[in-house]
Structure 1
Amino acid sequence: MSETVLITGAGRGLGLEFAYQYARDGWKVHACCRDLTHAEDLLALEARFPDQIDLHTLDVNKDGQIKALDRVLGDTTLDLLINNAGYYGPKGVAFGSLERELWRQVLETNTLSPIMLAQALYPRVAASQGKTIAFLSSKVGSITDNSSGGGYYYRSSKTALNQAVKSLSIDLEGAGVKVLALHPGWVQTDMGGPNALITAEESVRGMRTVLENMEPNQSGTFLDYMGNLIEW
């Protein structure tokens, strides 16, 4: 019996690459995207792997869509839940120009929504064989690593996510669910830009290896795509 993964933000970038690699390797993939009508690459991937990929419309910031997704999944169990959907927000915003509503939007997408989705779907993960929830974080959320300042919106959203992931790992330990925050590296995506150091294929391949080799005592940690521990 094949393993099952659900991926948010699968319309492009790392989410699309996750969907491709897992489908290629025989997993059942539930690929979620905010706007499927404009997700040409994801639609093409579904056409390539029609038996492996199911597509779902999901705006992670809308609780009604999260509930609808849960209903549509029926009795599906999830070996792996990948919270990939994210939002950087406006770039280059310096102290003195911060705006409350823009900050709130970044926190909503990167911090609140992944945890709310995990809350809705964790029984499906707990009932599976894989029992793993992954959250795509970022090294810029590391307080220890912050030596350049700035990036208030995105940095704080990932720092807060990391704290929530740590709490979640403790709360779900009794159910045997492993929880991990992952730094994908500086990746050549729309967010990372063309000058980034690694490709989406390299990043996802590395993160998959980390997840496949993850031990229960690593639950609640913050690792990069090569398995290196990142300080909080």
Structure 2
Amino acid sequence: MNTVLITGAGRGIGLEFARRFAAAGAHIHATVRDLAKADALRALGSSATIHTCDVTSDAHVGALADLLGDTPIDILINNAGILLNRGESFDTLEVADLEETLRVNTVAPVRVMQALAGNVARSQRKLIVNISSRMGSVSEASGSNYSYRASKAALNMAVKILANDLKGRGVTAIVVHPGWVQTDMGGPSAALSVKESVDGLMKVIDKAGLRDTGSFINHDGSRIPW
């Protein structure tokens, strides 16, 4: 039985991942910031262990790592993220928004990976998945959304480096683009439902192996240029 840890699992893509893996017989460690909003996770019953964890906090992530101890984590999914000031232009860019977006979208997943890499390395599956965005592709960059694009580009680089560092321990680390998805972040006009996005991502995860480490993969399985 796989053990899967998902950050930002209370809604949207994270919640759908939790449901899918639970249905497949995995045990889920799901992090949320507010237990009062975790009813959908509670519905998974004994398949899910719910943790209150602010991934921007060293203390919270450290406490989670201490609680898990030597528990093997087969699949770690860094899903928690934010998009502030949608459509942000150079003229409307607020440095405070840039700093907060980097703190949540870049620093936090690195913090989680650093804390739990040993747990992943002790598992059978040895897979780290980071939910990124095509908007973080330097090759495909256009205008606007400075903070979000920069945060995802920085995450991509961090994972690319990590993939090299952990390959010798048999750990696969990838970044994935879920598509433009109908979540609170993506909005109701987005091209994909949460189900459609996670359908594709589950196939990517199922196929991912050490040969793919350090890759930037679309929800449909195609590769995205850095």
TM exceeding 0.5: yes
Distance in 1 separating the partners of 2:162 and 2:224 = 18
Q: 205-214 vs 173-182, which deviates more?
A: 205-214
Distance in 2 separating the partners of 1:173 and 1:93 = 37
Taking only the aligned residue pairs, the percentage that are identical comes to 46
Q: Deviations over 1:147-171 (max 9, x none)?
A: 3x11100000001111111000000
Q: Does 1:142 align with 2:141?
A: no
**Corresponding residue number in structure 2 for 1:99:** 94
**Corresponding residue number in structure 1 for 2:126:** 131
Matched ranges for 1:1-232 at <5 A:
2-37=1-36, 39=37, 42-46=38-42, 48-147=43-142, 149-232=143-226
Structure 1 residue 126, shift from structure 2 partner: 0.1
Distance in 2 separating the partners of 1:77 and 1:194 = 37
Distance in 2 separating the partners of 1:112 and 1:44 = 27
2:10, 2:40 within 8 Å by CA — same for their partners in 1?
no
2:6, 2:79 within 8 Å by CA — same for their partners in 1?
yes
SS in 2 for 1:197: coil
TM-score (norm: length of structure 2): 0.97
TM-score (norm: length of structure 1): 0.95
Structure 1 residue 98, shift from structure 2 partner: 1.7
Q: State the one-letter code of the partner of 2:173.
A: V
Structure 1 residue 75, shift from structure 2 partner: 3.0
Distance in 2 separating the partners of 1:205 and 1:75 = 31
Q: 57-66 vs 69-78, which deviates more?
A: 69-78
Q: Deviations over 1:76-127 (max 9, x none)?
A: 1100000000011122322122221111000010011101110000000000
SS in 2 for 1:95: coil
Q: Deviations over 1:3-43 (max 9, x none)?
A: 00000001111011111111111100001001112x1xx32
Aligned residues: 226
Distance in 1 separating the partners of 2:157 and 2:44 = 37
Q: Deviations over 1:152-210 (max 9, x none)?
A: 00000001111111000000011000000000001111111111111111111211111
Distance in 2 separating the partners of 1:45 and 1:154 = 28
Distance in 2 separating the partners of 1:32 and 1:61 = 12
Distance in 2 separating the partners of 1:97 and 1:203 = 31
